[in-house]
Structure 1
């Protein structure tokens, strides 16, 4: 059997198949699923609710104890609020295009 009869099919069939196989694997693994998006949205909403609750607890403790100094990030820093508004805008756009 001639070596070129083995090498030629490997180059013409095997190499493109191998490349396309891994390109397909790469494309499918690089995206998040709709279940992942739903989970991220639920986690984001939970984090927002927990942040609101922490603000309430800190206000209650501060009203009872004037010496109380909150140790976490301040609730109304403009830099944080701007990032949250941008995230809310992106979520709203995503939901608007999904409908």
Structure 2
């Protein structure tokens, strides 16, 4: 056996699996978000929900003072939007229940 044969065998049985496993490990660690990221996303969601409620209140107050006022948003307190928010809240609750 000469050096080229040994190098070919090492490439097939050592280096190739090592490279594959290295990148599989990198891929698995990069695909997840941390608990800090989850907490930040939940905080941002709660902030957006509060701002949406405030916007509804402001639009309602302005509309009561000015009958010609038309809200900038397409639909006030849309059931479609509210359904999506309820689904998101349910996912967050399930995620919290699964992590505990």
TM-score above 0.5, yes or no: yes
Q: Structure with the greater relative contact order (CA < 8 A, sep ≥ 6): 1 or 2?
A: 2
The residue number in structure 2 matching 1:74 is 75
The residue number in structure 2 matching 1:20 is 21
Any unmatched runs of 5+ in structure 2?
A: none
Structure 1 position 16, deviation (Å) = 0.2
Structure 1 position 62, deviation (Å) = 0.8
The residue number in structure 2 matching 1:10 is 11
Aligned pairs (5 A) from 1:31-70: 31-70=32-71
Total equivalences in the alignment: 99
Instruction: State TM-score, norm by structure 1.
Output: 0.92
Which contiguous aligned blocks of 4+ residues in structure 1 show a shift greater than 6 angstroms?
none
Structure 1 position 59, deviation (Å) = 0.9
Match of 2:18, SS state, is helix
Any unmatched runs of 5+ in structure 1?
A: none
Residues 39-89 of structure 1 show CA distances to partners (whole Å, capped at 9, x for unaligned) of 100000000010011111111111111100001132322211111111111
Match of 1:68, SS state, is coil
Instruction: State TM-score, norm by structure 2.
Output: 0.91
The residue number in structure 1 matching 2:96 is 95
The residue number in structure 1 matching 2:86 is 85
For residues 73 and 61 of structure 2, the distance between their equivalents in structure 1, rounded to whole angstroms, comes to 15
